[in-house]
Structure 1
Amino acid sequence: MSHRSAITTHVLDTALGRPAAGVPVRLSRIDDEPAVLAEATTDDDGRVAELGPDQVPAGTYQLRFDTAAYCAASGQECFYPEVTVTFAVTDQRHHHVPLLLSPFAYSTYRGS
């Protein structure tokens, strides 16, 4: 049975104009008691269906994207072998943190 994770992500390959399938992703809590909460790989739509628990306490979290593995698999150059996004959870709302990726740039934002 699937659940909706409190923190979700998806990766879009802006250079190729499509979802980035096969990106390894790790979700960690990095304050108080640092811990890896989940590890997964993006699906064909560039999303991770389940990434960690359905609720997380307020704190500082981090998503680590293994972009080197993705670039190698897709035959692209890779200036950023890893992208790490650190963000604050302050309430119990769902937190969606997308990554827009190309070989020489990336951006992220608070999604919905």
Structure 2
Amino acid sequence: MIDVAALEDLTPGEPHLVQLGDTPVCLVVVDGTVRAVHDICTHAFESLSAGWVEGDRIECPRHGAQFCLTTGEALTPPASRALPTYRVEVRDGRVLVDPAPSTQHPLIR
């Protein structure tokens, strides 16, 4: 697990970009739980941390594709491939992310 942020620095419902080595990851607090997905849209390779969050969905700012922050599933076109997701733990007010994706997209390693 890699320490990436202080929990107090994350605003619920707002995307927050962190790096796991060379991998950009988007953190979002959803209903009191920190979710982590790969930050790059599987359709247009745009940063999702610049997008919008509604509930447990994040929307890509380029073409409006939406993804589930819990499963990484692509929910709306034009995206059709899921995002990798990452396991998150909160310890002593710090957000820790497992650098090995829980789910994997074939084009993003």
**Coarse TM-score class (shorter-chain normalised):** 0.3 to 0.5
Q: Of the two, which has the highest radius of gyration?
A: 1
TM-score (norm 2): 0.33
TM-score (norm 1): 0.32
Q: Which has the higher contact order (CA 8 A, sep 6+)?
A: 1
